[in-house]
Amino acid sequence: MAVAEQTMLKETRPRRGSRLWQNISIIFRSNVGTVGLVMVLFWGCVALLSLFWTPYPPNATAFTQNEWPTWAHPLGTDHLGRDMLSRLMQGTQVILVKTRLPGGWVLPIGVALWGVIGSLVVGVTLGLMSGYYGGWIDQSIMQLLDALIAFPRIILYLVVIAALGQGDWVVIVAITVTGAPGVARLARSLALDIKTRDYVLAAQTRGESALYIMFHELLPNARGPLLVDGMLRVGYAIFAIATLGFLGIGLPPPDPDWGNMVNEARRYIWTNPLAVLWPSLAISTLVIGLNLLADGFNEEASRYQR
């Protein structure tokens, strides 16, 4: 009888692959989420394609300057005669698919994603500690984070870059420092609610450690809102990279940066407005796609939980 019950449980228990597909398929139930996913996947495919092929070398200056779109150059050329399509494709790499480190090392995943991962790791850790322990630990952590939030983000970016210099890893640190306080406040509010649940009290009764409770009981039950917040923060990170590039203090050359492309082309906006339009559209469509994806996931996940 016991063997039969175990067999039935194994048959009815969903496999990992099916559970993963159920989580992913939530997106396709939302029209908004589906549109956002298509926009994000488009730029993801462009980034992957640019690793193996671009129409021309992105920094080649052997073409006519400020040329309007032609068959040879579908998006035209900039003020130095560089192909805009090649530079636009190359600009997706540093945001989505690769990060350059000192010494010639290259990491998979782009600067924006690493910055958000850093924000989530630091923010979630501090937020769970603050919400679970409470008392003076909560006050100390939150006062420190409130002090960081009080500064405008651009000031914090400038402070980090002035202290550490330019580089992909410096931009990651800047995004982490500015994003972690918001993640921590969200994680803290979730921890304050979840730690009163019966299963957390049961874990405490069993004598589980605080680390076990925070990362095995609190975090799995808070992952939905944190995941949605992380999607939105990727858009914020892309805006941050574009802002720093526009100011000339972002990602260093030679890789093209969408923000720097806008900054260089704005001086020739009356003679070649398309050179400003293309990178601006790239930034806006990718960020809008991420926002739509996060909204659709949040909407359908909330409906699914109800």
Residue pLDDT, tens place only, 257-266: 899 999 989 9
The end-to-end CA distance of the chain, in Å, is 35
Q: Is 99 helix (H, G, I), strand (E, B) or coil?
A: strand
Write out the CATH class of domain 112-243. Answer: mainly alpha
Q: Is 78 helix (H, G, I), strand (E, B) or coil?
A: coil
Residue type, 289: G
Cα separation values, 245 from 66, 156, 197, 249, Å: 21, 15, 46, 6
pLDDT at 54: 92
pLDDT at residue 165 tops 90: no
pLDDT at residue 13 tops 80: no
pLDDT at residue 249 tops 50: yes
pLDDT at 1: 44
Global confidence as pTM? 0.87
Task: Kindly state the percentage of the chain with pLDDT values over 70.
Answer: 89
- Where do the CATH 1.10.3720.10 domains begin and end in the chain? 112-243
**Residue 62, number of CB atoms within 10 A of its CB:** 9
The Cα 199–Cα 251 span in angstroms is 46
The Cα 233–Cα 238 span in angstroms is 9
Instruction: Encode pLDDT of 26-49 as tens digits.
Output: 677 778 888 999 999 999 999 999
In the Cβ-directed half-sphere of 263, how many Cα atoms lie within 13 Å?
Answer: 15
How far from the centroid of its chain's Cα atoms is residue 290's Cα? 9
Helices 84-92 + 274-305 axis angle, to 10: 30
Q: What is the mean pLDDT of residues 12-18?
A: 50
- Phi, psi values for residue 11, rounded to 5°: -70, -35
pLDDT at 261: 92
pLDDT at residue 24 tops 80: no
Q: What is the mean pLDDT of residues 118-141?
A: 94
How far from the centroid of its chain's Cα atoms is residue 245's Cα? 17
